[in-house]
Amino acid sequence: MKIFLGLMAGFTLMLAACSTDLDVAADYEEVMVVYGLLDPKEPVQYIRVQKAYLDQERSALDFSDNPDSLFYPIEDLSVKLVKISNGDTISLSPIKVARDGNGDFGLDSNIIYTTSTPLSASENYRLVVRNLVSGKLVTAESPIVDTIKLERPPADESIDFPINFVIPEGNNSFRPVEVRWVSAKDAKAYDVVLRFWYEQWPLSNTSDRDTFFVDITLVQNAYSSGTGGNEVLRELIDGKDFFAGVARGIAVDNTVGRAPLAKPLEFRFLIGGEVLYNYINVNQGQLGITQLQSQTKYTNINGGLGLFSTRSSQERRFVTLHPATLDSLACGSVTGNLSFSIGGTSCF
């Protein structure tokens, strides 16, 4: 199972699926579909609101090119976030987001409701969506996930903490590296992505240098036992996964030179709330999450369908690589053909 990395990577608002509480194949009734993930690290929050459009006589594809079949007129909806602790209300504004035109649902644009009002950490928010014409009301609640506490690598970026993925003088033998953190309040699921930064230049002009990175997913499906926080989580990173990830993400090119930055590693922790964890687990294996599927089982939207949860991220930047790992990066069997040089010395 792939947890929530696809949901974490950028803003991917989707039509949610079905519910065990509603018969979406019944005669037409107004069914509102809501999708939103509150992220305190993002400058803008996004909520998507659509219509369910299943019809006994016609395929969903018959409706796919008609915006009126998918989206409510913007003047018909009120979309708000309410801070539960004090009742403060945030009104969301509609915007149109262009689509790329690919796939069956090739509309010119989607309607998304947004706010740039900062969210308060460790607070609970209620989403309230009302159809001002029909009176239809849907609600959902979610906390805002707190931050994790990093232990390995340490959170303090001034501490030199070289990472070594190989056994020195071990004939390119790989070694595991432990990553350790303390879970966040109201969080349940974690991925860890290692971002590797490097320079690249054409051999014909060594002063023409650009900086690039490749992301390597090192941990998927790490779960805390609860959502109270303060639980120590440990994951062992297989050294060969680092080298294999670099090899997958960087193409062989004999016309360029490359070198890792002085502190080339950035650990990126992706954090998901309990409702998001439940949604992914229950709907695992269901095809067509952008379509209405009567077999999907999970929603936490009261009076409607979809998902309203929380996510966040946290980074530990400027981590160095051990000299043995640098040597293997430049000269080892996995990445030795990628034209890396260390301190001006290369194996290519």
One-character DSSP codes across 187-256: EEEEEEEEEEEEEEEETT-TT--EEEEEEEEEEEEEE-SSSSS--EEEEEEPHHHHHHHHHHHS---TTE
The confidence score (pLDDT) of residue 168 equals 73
Rounded alpha-carbon distances, angstroms, from residue 101 to 98, 110, 185: 9, 11, 39
* Integer Cα distance of 194 and 316 in angstroms: 10
The confidence score (pLDDT) of residue 289 equals 28
Amino acid at 113: Y
* Integer Cα distance of 299 and 282 in angstroms: 10
Please choose, from the candidates 348, 268, 309, the residue with its C-alpha nearest in 3D space to the C-alpha of residue 143. 309
| pTM of the shown model | 0.82
The confidence score (pLDDT) of residue 275 equals 92
- Say if residue 332 is exposed, middle or buried (CB neighbours under 10 Å; 0-12, 13-18, 19+): buried
Element spanning 276, H or E: helix 274-282
Packed helices 323-331 and 239-249: angle between N→C axes, nearest 10 degrees: 40
* Integer Cα distance of 168 and 181 in angstroms: 27
Residues 6 or more apart whose Cβ sits within 8 Å of residue 186: 122, 143, 144, 145, 146, 227, 229, 273, 274, 310
> What parts of the chain have a pLDDT lower than 50?
1-27, 58-66, 103-107, 285-295
Strands (E), 99-185: 109-115, 124-131, 137-143, 149-152, 177-182
- Please, what is the Cα angle at 340 between 337 and 341, to 5 degrees? 130
* Integer Cα distance of 263 and 229 in angstroms: 30
Contact by Cβ (8 Å): 297, 18: yes
